[in-house]
Amino acid sequence: MKKYSFYINGEWTGNDLDVIEVYNPATNELIATVPNGGSTEARLAVHAAYEAFKEWSSFSAYERSDLIWKWYHLINEHKEVLARTMTMEQGKPLKEALGEIAYANGFLSWYAEEAKRIYGETIPATQRNKRLFVHKQPVGVVAAITPWNFPAAMITRKVAPALAAGCTVVVKPAEQTPLTALKLAELAHEAGIPKGVINVVTGNPQEIGKVWLEDDRVRKLTFTGSTEVGKLLMRGSADTVKKVSLELGGHAPVIVMDDADLDKAVDGVIHSKYRNAGQTCICSNRIYVQESVYEPFISKLVEKVERLKVGNGLDDQVDIGPLIDDPAIQKVKNHIEDAISKGAKVETGGEILNQLFFQPTVISNVDDDMVCMSEETFGPLAPVTSFKTEEEAIERANDSLYGLAAYVFTENISKGIRISEALEYGIIGLNDGLPSTPQAPFGGFKQSGIGREGGHYGIDEYLEVKYISLGL
């Protein structure tokens, strides 16, 4: 059992505080403790980031890029230990954890290069004796609050563009998964990223959040997590008029048209539904299959789902690890019970295996008024229903408060584009169950969030536009 410190102003501190215990959800074993920081530490972190901003923002883009690249190479060298740490605190299978480290590091390489492409503009003036320029400048200190389901990627997706833009950051990882975050900070330190540029504080979310929201020096809040907490943070940002980026909940529909390649569609659903045991915000939550292929789709899906192996993510063969905690298990169970009570049929799974392990489940005969069709399950439950026409599928898919990801399967490309355009979602997987990648924009319509992470869009969130009017 290791006792971790947190990282403020280039130093490892917090050992005098009481602790938060971190458990392995696969074994219920206590694996580490981290300091239970509060308002004092939150303030110290902002102070450090504010002081560091002066120098960091004056570095050339090439100097910042070099340091981000050094951090990238160190993460790459330590990917095995990072992935093991992640599996132990979060539960996902080791192969997925390794995949996440590569994905997380992809944000470092992408933004190390984007730092060099923060272009300004000149605008033709109306008068002969004027010149109009547009500069891009870093917004300042950024507060990043991240969830437990992607302990590395949700941090680098925010920190990499922030650093590339010239911002400094204060980070609060989720209390369930602080270890990967602290290890990433260790490697940033080793890479030579100057003190105060990255600060990671663990502890009480409400206390830390309050200090960061109220502090005028924090100019930007970037958050990934529940819609409920996102709304709270957005309200809290109003008093100091912070910029906000929010990546919130989702409720992804999958539409399988009668001309889909069913094997491709089933593989897409397996990837999008059961990755991380169903605990991602772009996991498919409701599957609409066109009438004539409904039965064959279900039998192919069930056949593949029954091959998925559930167990401790450290075991090589495992496809599905434990859920994060008891409420998570309970939620999946409640969604299934509600669906059964309203007429759904369990095709496979449906039960808790033991403790935090849940059987990968497929239910059919599903109606839109079942709870799982509107509330995010965040677990390995795939509800399948049928539809008659394309219009019906689009209407039912769009009938949601969320608008993060949606999936469409059809071999007719015109139809695929037509449906993609009609869907009110920020990310469309067209014959693709795994659309996330560092160079593309990730973010949602409606109550799924504000702003985009990834790609050239992602760095704009950390830049102010400054217009300079020069009179000759």
Question: Is residue 372 a contact partner of residue 286, using CB atoms and an 8 Å limit?
Answer: yes
| Residue 384 beta carbon to ligand ADP: minimum distance, rounded to whole angstroms | 25
Residue 468: how many CB atoms within 10 A of its CB? 11
Residue 428 found at the interface with ligand ADP (CB under 6 A):
no
Residue 117: how many CB atoms within 10 A of its CB? 10
Question: Is residue 255 a contact partner of residue 430, using CB atoms and an 8 Å limit?
Answer: no
Core vs surface per residue 73-96: b (16+ CB within 10 A) or e: ebbeebbeebbbbbbbbbbbbbeb
Q: What is the dihedral of CA 447, 200, 32, 87, to 10 degrees?
A: 50
Among 11, 113, 175, 375, binds ligand ADP (CB under 6 A): 175
SS3 319: coil
Q: Which stretch binds ligand ADP (CB under 6 A): 130-138, 156-164, 167-175, 296-304?
A: 167-175
Q: Which stretch binds ligand ADP (CB under 6 A): 51-59, 203-211, 308-316, 395-403?
A: 203-211
| Residue 324 beta carbon to ligand ADP: minimum distance, rounded to whole angstroms | 8
Residue 472: how many CB atoms within 10 A of its CB? 8
Q: Which CB, 205 or 441, lies closer to ligand ADP?
A: 205
Q: Which CB, 229 or 302, lies closer to ligand ADP?
A: 229
Q: Which CB, 85 or 176, lies closer to ligand ADP?
A: 176
CB-based contacts of 450-457 (< 8 A; 24+ apart in sequence): 450/234, 450/244, 450/245, 450/246, 451/222, 451/244, 451/245, 451/246, 451/247, 452/245, 452/426, 453/157, 453/158, 453/161, 453/245, 453/247, 454/107, 454/110, 454/157, 455/110, 456/114, 456/117
| Residue 306 beta carbon to ligand ADP: minimum distance, rounded to whole angstroms | 29
Among 14, 178, 225, 438, binds ligand ADP (CB under 6 A): 225
Tokens read off for 397? 């898919």
| Residue 208 beta carbon to ligand ADP: minimum distance, rounded to whole angstroms | 7
Q: What residues between 99 and 158 interact with ligand ADP by CB under 6 A?
A: 145-148
Q: Which stretch binds ligand ADP (CB under 6 A): 21-29, 126-134, 169-177, 350-358?
A: 169-177
Q: Which CB, 232 or 422, lies closer to ligand ADP?
A: 232
| Residue 281 beta carbon to ligand ADP: minimum distance, rounded to whole angstroms | 9
Q: Which CB, 177 or 410, lies closer to ligand ADP?
A: 177
Q: Give the count of residues interacting with ligand ADP (CB under 6 A).
A: 14
Q: How far apart are CA 327 and CA 206, in angstroms?
A: 20
Q: Is 372 a catalytic residue?
A: no
Residue 98 found at the interface with ligand ADP (CB under 6 A):
no
Q: Which residue is nearest to ligand ADP (CB)?
A: 209
Among 167, 171, 174, 182, binds ligand ADP (CB under 6 A): 174
DSSP secondary structure, 214-277, as one string:
H-TTEEEEEEES-HHHHHHHHHHHTTTT-EEEEE----EEEEE-TTS-HHHHHHHHHHHHHGGG
Residue 214 found at the interface with ligand ADP (CB under 6 A):
no
In the set 281, 283, 347, 376, the catalytic residue is 281
Question: Is residue 171 a contact partner of residue 155, using CB atoms and an 8 Å limit?
Answer: yes
Q: How far apart are CA 256 and CA 28, in angstroms?
A: 39
Question: Is residue 205 a contact partner of residue 171, using CB atoms and an 8 Å limit?
Answer: no
Q: Is 167 a catalytic residue?
A: no
Write the CB contacts of 413 (distance below 8 Å, at least 6 apart in sequence): none
Q: How far apart are CA 224 and CA 22, in angstroms?
A: 20
- Here's the x/- map for ligand ADP, 73-92, by CB under 6 A: it reads as --------------------
Tokens read off for 418? 């037509």
Q: Which CB, 75 or 174, lies closer to ligand ADP?
A: 174
Among 43, 157, 158, 172, binds ligand ADP (CB under 6 A): 172
Residue 460 found at the interface with ligand ADP (CB under 6 A):
no
In the set 41, 247, 347, 461, the catalytic residue is 247
Q: Which stretch binds ligand ADP (CB under 6 A): 120-128, 135-143, 221-229, 314-322?
A: 221-229
Q: Which CB, 47 or 331, lies closer to ligand ADP?
A: 331
Q: Which residues are catalytic?
A: 247, 281
Interface ranges with ligand ADP (CB under 6 A): 145-148, 172, 174-175, 205-206, 209, 225-226, 229, 232
